[in-house]
Amino acid sequence: MASIDTLTLPLDQTSADQLAASGLEYARVDADGDSYRPFQRAVVRGFLAGEPTDDESENARLTLRTRRLTAVYDRGGVEPEVPVGTVDSWATELTTSPGRQTGMWAISAVAVAPTHRRRGIARAMLGGELRTAADAGFALAGLTVTEATIYGRWGFSPATWASDVEIDTGRARWTGPVGPGRLDFVPRDAIAGRIAAVHERVRRQRPGAVPGWDGRWRGVAGTAPGDKEGDKVRAVAYRDTAGVERGIVVYTIADRNDFTTHELDVRALFADSSEAYASLWRFVLEHDLVAKVTARLQDPVPPVQWMVADRRAVTATLTDHQWLRVLDVPGALASRSYSAPLSVVIRVTDPLGFADGAWNVRIDDEGEAVVEPVSAADTVDVEMTVNALGSLLLGGVRVTELATAGLASGQPRVLSAIDRTFAPVMTPLLDIWY
């Protein structure tokens, strides 16, 4: 599924018609054509960054060449070649259970010019993305969000959460395991490739994870054009006693007038073993002349809290991170393995229609799902919105909690059974932005 070439899929006619009715043009953008640079300028402006330099634009092109770029144009404008709406999307893999992946339609760069906001441009673009993804057979769409208020209306809902972590190193004091392997600096020009290699192993085991890409890793490594901190980026890798690289931490250290209170910011810490995770955290927490360590996109309850003498030296601020949208209920539910058998009829309400219906969900003794539609007359055990189903899918939240919030309903006994079945083997986590 993830190998589908989304660039060959046709433009959604419903969206094209909706936009044409407002005098707007919906079009695909060729990353190697003349329309690329204005497209990229519009994206950057939408996300409130400065005008991209030639180098930045060319660097972004390396990534966007692999993406399906779609734009909305107001040809009557002063700069008719600059889109008033942008979106990019691509087929990726979502890890649903350790070692198990499914195809997902990833969406990014959703931006509407502030001169054209609240006229339904995002609505047309998002509708086009969802219809194109569903028609191509994707059971799920996913995105990360700037604001929590935007995407619920299109059936997206948080499915993985992540913590921003701040650690007072003076209070923390390492009490965790001490890895038997070794730490070495990674040469600057090798950092991006080495992050990619570790992350590729990590993401296959972690529910909620998706693959990174070269441009993402160049950005983390500080080697992408326009990174003002780029020359401060350092990386240290952990190798186990067999000499195999097991993890990497990429960081910068900010200047401070008081030389003993520097702040170390972790740009990435990926480890595919517990000893590598502990060794890399110990390295940053015991770094000389550093008083504070910060890191983003860590586990909701970061394991490092258990590895220091004073857990309150670790402040973890939780936020929703990855939002999922179920497009095909049988496909989405069959994409993961489960922790206990189950037999229930779930009624899913989806105002956009994709997932709407009643579904007989059976999970066998091996934890595999078979999901079939049932007629409206059949007895329904549980009702939930498509948003709630997206949140529940990876087991990052309990259905009993969603029921408390009024997003699902059913007998307590049935809801508890669903929670036992959906309990994840590992807490879902998306450890990058996309």
Ligand X SMILES: CC(C)(COP(=O)(O)OP(=O)(O)OC[C@H]1O[C@@H](n2cnc3c(N)ncnc32)[C@H](O)[C@@H]1OP(=O)(O)O)[C@@H](O)C(=O)NCCC(=O)NCCS
How far is the CA of 135 from the CAs of 42, 66, 140, 297, 377, in angstroms?
28, 20, 12, 32, 28
Selected from 3, 8, 149, 375, the binder of ligand X by CB under 6 A is: 149
> Nearest Cα to 62, choosing from 94, 38, 31?
31
Near ligand X by CB under 6 A, which window of 105-113, 236-244, 288-296, 382-390?
A: 105-113
With respect to ligand X, which residue has the nearer C-beta, 110 or 304? 110
Q: Which residues pair with 105 in a beta bridge?
A: 91, 141
By CB under 6 A, residue 280 contacts ligand X: no
By CB under 6 A, residue 147 contacts ligand X: yes
CA angle, 332 then 334 then 335, to 5°: 65
CB of 140 to ligand X, least distance (A): 17
Selected from 77, 120, 300, 357, the binder of ligand X by CB under 6 A is: 120
- What 3-state class would DSSP assign to 74? coil
- Residue nearest ligand X by beta-carbon distance: 122
Between residue 345 and residue 404, which ones bind ligand X under the rule CB under 6 A? none
CB of 113 to ligand X, least distance (A): 8
Residue 202 · residue 212 · CB < 8 Å: no
With respect to ligand X, which residue has the nearer C-beta, 149 or 379? 149
Q: How far apart are CA 416 and CA 423, in angstroms?
A: 11
With respect to ligand X, which residue has the nearer C-beta, 106 or 122? 122
For 11, residues 6+ apart whose C-beta sits below 8 A from its C-beta are 26, 27, 28, 70, 128
Q: Is the dihedral of CA 53, 58, 62, 65 positive or negative?
A: positive
Token pair, residue 259, equals: 């030389």
By CB under 6 A, residue 249 contacts ligand X: no
Near ligand X by CB under 6 A, which window of 104-112, 175-183, 279-287, 342-350?
A: 104-112
CB of 108 to ligand X, least distance (A): 8
- What 3-state class would DSSP assign to 188? helix
CB of 144 to ligand X, least distance (A): 7
Q: How far apart are CA 363 and CA 371, in angstroms?
A: 9
With respect to ligand X, which residue has the nearer C-beta, 117 or 312? 117
By CB under 6 A, residue 14 contacts ligand X: no
Near ligand X by CB under 6 A, which window of 114-122, 176-184, 227-235, 278-286?
A: 114-122
Strand 382-385 relative to strand 408-410: parallel, antiparallel, unpaired?
antiparallel
Near ligand X by CB under 6 A, which window of 118-126, 221-229, 333-341, 423-431?
A: 118-126
Number of residues in contact with ligand X under rule CB under 6 A: 18
Characterise 367 by phi-psi region: left (phi > 0), alpha (psi -120 to 50), beta (else).
Answer: left
Over the window 17 to 56, marking each residue x when it contacts ligand X by CB under 6 A and - when it does not, the resulting string is: -----------------------------xx---------
Instruction: Give the residue carrying structure tokens 């879902």.
Output: 428
**Phi, psi dihedrals of residue 117, rounded to the nearest 5°:** -70, 155
Q: How far apart are CA 432 and CA 152, in angstroms?
A: 21
Token pair, residue 158, equals: 């948080």
By CB under 6 A, residue 83 contacts ligand X: no
By CB under 6 A, residue 150 contacts ligand X: yes
> Nearest Cα to 234, choosing from 178, 164, 183?
183
Near ligand X by CB under 6 A, which window of 56-64, 149-157, 348-356, 370-378?
A: 149-157
Selected from 122, 162, 196, 285, the binder of ligand X by CB under 6 A is: 122
Selected from 33, 98, 117, 260, the binder of ligand X by CB under 6 A is: 117
CB of 104 to ligand X, least distance (A): 16
Report how far Cα 371 is from the mean position of its chain's Cα atoms: 26
Q: How far apart are CA 326 and CA 275, in angstroms?
A: 36
By CB under 6 A, residue 153 contacts ligand X: yes
- What 3-state class would DSSP assign to 159? strand
Selected from 43, 69, 111, 403, the binder of ligand X by CB under 6 A is: 111
Footprint of ligand X (CB under 6 A): 46-47, 110-112, 117-123, 145-147, 149-150, 153
